[in-house]
Structure 1
Amino acid sequence: MSGCCPPSRSAAPSAVVPQAGPVRAPDADGLISLPGGTFRMGTEDEDGFPEDHEGPVREVTVGPFAIDAYAVTNARFAEFVDATGYRTEAERFGWTYVFAKFVPAHLRKGAPRPEQTPWWCGVAGAYWRAPEGPGSDVEDRWDHPVVHVSWNDATAYCAWAGRRLPTEVEWEYAARGGLDQARYPWGDELTPDGEHRCNIWQGRFPVHNTEEDGFAGTAPVDAFQPNGFGLYNVSGNVWEWCADWFDPARANRAMRGGSYLCHDSYCNRYRVAARTANTPDSSSGNLGFRTAADI
């Protein structure tokens, strides 16, 4: 997988589909109910990754469902942990991956790094409540997406909350927000009129981030504008686990949306049709989730 993607522990022009009424608002539980329907899923964009099986473009029908307007926050995940005593897999393994520039020097020294992506450090003692390792916390990030959660952790949360992870079909239908084959949730231009619409890397990856979008790491889950269906940050910020297997021949689960480490020079998987995968027990500082529910 490309460098902004969490390491494992082991092209038609866009058109607006007519919408009835304004952008949907989440209910008291933070869910947005969507009617479903038939849409064109996938892409044959020249900027895509054929090896990720993003295409071909095909018509897919999805039934009604509800999905979180926002990724699950540190505050929401803390409620789950406080109620159940759950320990994430990062805690049980004793380590998880942290972007090297965020790791204090005394923890970075000697920390194992994947050979192909040395900007990741395996940091002992890092987990969702200490996202950069011992000494860090989330006290000023309760409204940021929880990170360092594996697919197994996410499904455990869903079971407690009476939810489930969205399928890839549901996720892409919701992330498109009613746009047909647009590259991003808001259209085909990354920064319309010079405005940043998502939290990704600016500058030269991985050595210099200009932070033109306002963030070096995670952003609050309600940062930037929602898409046409009222979903926030379905491009950038954090990767989001989906329910599906990425490929039946591989024991990896699908992830969508890209993260704050994505950059066009290396990994442009903040496109709405982009996908990648990881093992269900993997976790990192740019990997979270949002939930879905049947209606």
Structure 2
Amino acid sequence: MKKLTILVFLLGLSIHLYAQLAKMSIVGKPEKSESEIIGRRDVNGRFCAAIKVLSDMEGFTYDAYNGVVGDVEHQAGMDIVYLQPDERVLQIFHTGYEPLKIILSEVGIRLKPKEMWVIRIKGAPKKADMLPVSIVVKPQDASVFIDGKDAGKGPTYNLTPGKHQLRITKAHYKSVAREITVDEKHVLFNFTLEEQEDIPVQIEGEPSGATVYIDGLEFGTTPLAGFYPPGQYTLRIEKKGYLPLEEKIRIAEPAFRKNYRLQENVGFLTINTDPKAKVYINDKLVTGRKRIKLPPMIARVKVVLPKADVLEKQVAIKKDETLTLDMYPKVPTGTVRVAVVPFDAKVELKGDAGEYFSATGLKVFKNIPIGRYQLIVSRNGYQQASETFTLTQGQKLSKTIKLKKPSPGASKTAAAVSGAKKAPAKAEPAGDMVLIHGGTFQMGDVFNEGFAAEKPVHSVTVNDFYMGVHEVTQKEWTAIMGFNPSKYKDPNSPVEWISWFDAVEFCNLKSKKEGLTPCYTFSGPDVICNFDANGYRLPTEAEWEYAAREGGRRVRFGNGQDVADPAQINFNGNANSTAKYFKPGDYRRMPWPVGSFKPNALGLYDMSGNVWEWCWDWYSDNYYQKGESDNPRGPKTGNFKAIRGGSFSDGPEDIRCTNRIYSKPSLKSNGIGFRLVRTR
């Protein structure tokens, strides 16, 4: 019993002492620092986030649910606390104060790697040092401000001994503003306000929409008109992007009027670069290049040009200063020599990123961008010749083209002469397509690191087929369909926001337009594919994976590499992934123009990332356990269609060549497109 009594006493004493502790609190709203970048990493190699704590108090200690990363940086009036980017709670401790537990999401903080947030902490006076002070005011509903802060209605307030600034206000009464001295003998104060009329106030100027504060209290946004008690005040006018204006004013009869002009708080940045390049400042696309207005900040400038390495610079923008950057991405080049007969034939080169070169007769095209090209040679009275090829960095290609004259009666087909039906034409490479030589390969999770649907690894054989070197672009889609449904508009970027049914319809319409036999027929809600037709169609899962893996090689990603690098693939380089086979980096947040990155060994671009690609097959998790081994085409029925390759918003696990996921065939998404194949 005696022990129990002691325990109860100690518990009561601890509760009593805890109740005597003063409280700490956050002042104002947390703000994200745009000018500071965090370089510290946690034990897993991830970039940290940070919180900068500003306070007049010293001696804070800190804790978090996942622990503080490394040592806290203590400086005069400021601490920097490093946290993991998925941290949810920060606790702050100080002798004589209750612990302050901050749930980050509740105060508007969303931590991200490399980013810093700023908070301000204040501590209330310790209760043991305070005196109960009575401030009796008439009228009783007047507002009482002590040391610039709303003290509530009272009439009793806990104040520390010493001097305090007291202000009492009420509409239509003269305000009282004076200094009071509090000690054990002076704890009662009486005030009676005198009635008076408020003074008309009018404030306007440039720019409009500025916020007006009178003695730190928000009064409204300009242009504004209202009434305010007469007196001496501090007026502050501020707006984002401008230097604040602050001055002492006197509001008195008959009226107060103020006209202002704020000075822009900006510097200027000029970026000299290739006209075809895209320019990003702090990951936001900008259209202007000359004298871009920016607030003082650390700006990350990125210049992106198809086929060139991304250029990045970090610069400091200062008020009223003009900074000029020369950022010309260097596109890898090669040389093509073309000899033609007849000697005056017209030569044209059309590149996969919109390049166009032409000449008459023999020509050496020096230092032209690498990539996929279509060579067209023509002359009146001769049959036009065309071929496609891939030019790599430093390569010197030689092409000799001899045009043929059309044979007599060539316009008449054998079918027209005999009256018999014309046999289906053998498919030949059309436009930007390459021949994929068939073969047998081990399909599935050859690295033993994927998901269950990628297993078991099994032997599959596919026949020869032609595949588009690019995903179908918005320009190509619009030329056939007459409209562009994409959310991210760019003629050279892949078309998206199209369903599986939309893709099938496109294949048939393009086939008909080019005089080919459509592959697809519709029977009610069902779609039937004639794989022997010479028109355009979607790849099977087996064809897609075989091509992505460069003819079935043991490669992890569709560019032939085993490490996903954001400089080489358009995917989420900031993904919260523990995979060891990716290099953290940029997250572009949108599809990129096709051909912006290097192709794989078969000349295929963007087989990993950019947008998911519709396949023909119905999807089944366990299809690999019972599927065919010779040209498999998926289950005969299902509810979902297979999509492959991953998109710009996916992490490294999802853009692997062997990864399989699915979607309803009616679904439209800004992350799903498709690419064409033809049966050989």
Kindly indicate whether the alpha-carbon contact (under 8 Å) linking 1:44 and 1:56 is maintained by their aligned counterparts in 2.
no
Residue equivalent to 2:561: 187
What amino acid does structure 2 have at the position aligned with 1:37?
A: G
Alpha-carbon offset, residue 46 of structure 1? 4.3
1:196 is matched with which residue: 553, 560, 567?
567
Residue equivalent to 2:485: 128
1:261 is matched with which residue: 628, 641, 649?
649
Residue segments in structure 1 that go unaligned for 5+ positions in a row: 1-22, 86-126, 133-137
Aligned equivalents of 2:610 and 2:590: distance in 1? 8
Kindly indicate whether the alpha-carbon contact (under 8 Å) linking 2:446 and 2:554 is maintained by their aligned counterparts in 1.
no
Kindly indicate whether the alpha-carbon contact (under 8 Å) linking 2:493 and 2:593 is maintained by their aligned counterparts in 1.
yes
**Over the residues paired in the alignment, what is the CA RMSD in angstroms?**
2.4
1:35 is matched with which residue: 437, 440, 449?
437
Residue equivalent to 2:399: none
Aligned equivalents of 2:679 and 2:570: distance in 1? 29
1:243 is matched with which residue: 609, 612, 616?
616
Residue equivalent to 2:588: 215
Aligned equivalents of 1:56 and 1:251: distance in 2? 22
Distance 1:205 1:80, change over 3 A: farther
Alpha-carbon offset, residue 181 of structure 1? 2.1
What amino acid does structure 2 have at the position aligned with 1:160?
A: L
Kindly indicate whether the alpha-carbon contact (under 8 Å) linking 2:574 and 2:586 is maintained by their aligned counterparts in 1.
no
- After TM superposition, the runs of 4+ consecutive aligned structure 1 residues lying more than 6 A away are none
Alpha-carbon offset, residue 237 of structure 1? 0.4
Distance 1:55 1:205, change over 3 A: same
Identity of aligned residues (%): 35
Residue equivalent to 1:114: none
Alpha-carbon offset, residue 59 of structure 1? 1.5
Identify, as 1 or 2, the structure richer in helix: 1
Residue equivalent to 2:472: 72
Secondary structure of the corresponding residue to residue 243 of structure 1: strand
What amino acid does structure 2 have at the position aligned with 1:164?
A: R
Distance 1:79 1:271, change over 3 A: same
Alpha-carbon offset, residue 189 of structure 1? 2.1
Distance 1:242 1:204, change over 3 A: closer
Residue equivalent to 2:600: 227
Kindly indicate whether the alpha-carbon contact (under 8 Å) linking 1:42 and 1:56 is maintained by their aligned counterparts in 2.
yes
> Counterparts of 1:42-57 in structure 2 under 5 Å?
42-50=444-452, 53-57=453-457
Identify, as 1 or 2, the structure richer in strand: 2
Residue equivalent to 1:146: 495
Residue equivalent to 1:158: 507
Aligned equivalents of 2:564 and 2:588: distance in 1? 16
Name the structure, 1 or 2, with higher relative contact order (CA <8 Å, separation 6+).
1
Q: Does 1:270 align with 2:672?
A: no
Q: TM-score, normalised by structure 2?
A: 0.29
Q: Does 1:59 align with 2:459?
A: yes
Larger radius of gyration, structure 1 or 2? 2
Kindly indicate whether the alpha-carbon contact (under 8 Å) linking 2:612 and 2:647 is maintained by their aligned counterparts in 1.
yes
Aligned equivalents of 1:237 and 1:204: distance in 2? 15
Q: TM-score, normalised by structure 1?
A: 0.66
Aligned equivalents of 1:294 and 1:28: distance in 2? 12
Kindly indicate whether the alpha-carbon contact (under 8 Å) linking 1:68 and 1:291 is maintained by their aligned counterparts in 2.
yes
Kindly indicate whether the alpha-carbon contact (under 8 Å) linking 2:442 and 2:552 is maintained by their aligned counterparts in 1.
no
Secondary structure of the corresponding residue to residue 157 of structure 1: helix
Q: Does 1:285 align with 2:670?
A: yes
Kindly indicate whether the alpha-carbon contact (under 8 Å) linking 1:198 and 1:213 is maintained by their aligned counterparts in 2.
no
What amino acid does structure 1 have at the position aligned with 2:573?
A: Q
Range with bigger deviation, 144-153 or 37-46: 37-46
What amino acid does structure 1 have at the position aligned with 2:485?
A: W
Kindly indicate whether the alpha-carbon contact (under 8 Å) linking 2:575 and 2:650 is maintained by their aligned counterparts in 1.
no
Secondary structure of the corresponding residue to residue 171 of structure 1: helix
